[in-house]
Amino acid sequence: MRFTTEQAVAWIKRANERIQENREYLTELDQAIGDGDHGINLARGFREAVTALDRGGLDDIGAVFNQTGMTLLSKVGGASGPLYGTAFIKMGGALKGRREIAFSDLAQAIDAAVEGIGMRGKAQPGDKTMLDLWEPFAGFIRGCEHGVDLKAFRDMCENELERIKQLQARRGRASFLGNRSIGHHDPGAVSSWYLFDTLCAILSESGGHDGDDH
């Protein structure tokens, strides 16, 4: 399995569409246990990230991710700006100058993103944050060297989101709510799911061919 610059660009664009469609829903989730700005902030950030990509001039995956991360950093006002920004900048750093990569490289880049999110947000697994979906997703991608099984991916996400829903928030604005955060979706985990879902759809469309990996 290979991943190309064109696919990286297509991913950001499709993720943007999904976030725009679900802007209100993300805001509702955040109003329940946060400060109600997640949908608006992310929608603005990803819209700007796509505008920046449309200007063109980037020909490797690292540059696409790095520019996306820098845009999210500057355009998203809440905690999700520096967290998503760091995730993409870390992926960009891991894939600098690469136009086409093997799946194992993508998995490593996602590992770097997980590490960056953990460091920047000082969250631990189980704190009910986006990290609680990024970690299992990194594990899932590591096991996908011969292709992405969309159904397995979606089952994994459904289970994980349900597990995260039952956690008590220990980081961020939701932690003020104590055990009243239990039973609510974490907005950052849900928006992360949109990102992963669009990525996996793109990966599965490219077919299971292993290219020149053999």
Residue 3 phi, psi (nearest 5): -135, 130
For the bound state, the minimum distance from the C-beta of residue 122 to other proteins, rounded and expressed in Å, comes to 9
* Burial profile 49-84: b = 16 or more Cβ within 10 angstroms, e = fewer: bbebbeeeebebbbbbbbbbbbbbbebbebbbbbbb
Q: Is 69 in the site for other proteins (CB under 8 A)?
A: no
| CA–CA separation, 120 and 117 (whole Å) | 5
Nearer to other proteins, 91 or 202 (CB): 91
| CA–CA separation, 190 and 187 (whole Å) | 5
Q: Is 62 in the site for other proteins (CB under 8 A)?
A: no
- Window 98-137: residues binding other proteins (CB under 8 A): 120-121
Question: Using an 8 Å Cβ cutoff, are 77 and 39 in contact?
Answer: no
For the bound state, the minimum distance from the C-beta of residue 145 to other proteins, rounded and expressed in Å, comes to 34
Q: Is 47 in the site for other proteins (CB under 8 A)?
A: no
Range in contact with other proteins (rule: CB under 8 A) among 18-26, 78-86, 96-104, 206-214: 78-86
For residue 102 the two structure tokens come to 């093997």
Q: Is 183 in the site for other proteins (CB under 8 A)?
A: no
Q: Is 177 in the site for other proteins (CB under 8 A)?
A: no
What are the DSSP E strand ranges found in 73-164?
100-102
For the bound state, the minimum distance from the C-beta of residue 211 to other proteins, rounded and expressed in Å, comes to 37
Q: Is 79 in the site for other proteins (CB under 8 A)?
A: yes
Question: Using an 8 Å Cβ cutoff, are 161 and 133 in contact?
Answer: yes
Q: Is 41 in the site for other proteins (CB under 8 A)?
A: yes
Residues within the interface to other proteins (CB under 8 A)? 37, 41, 44, 73-79, 81-83, 120-121, 171-173
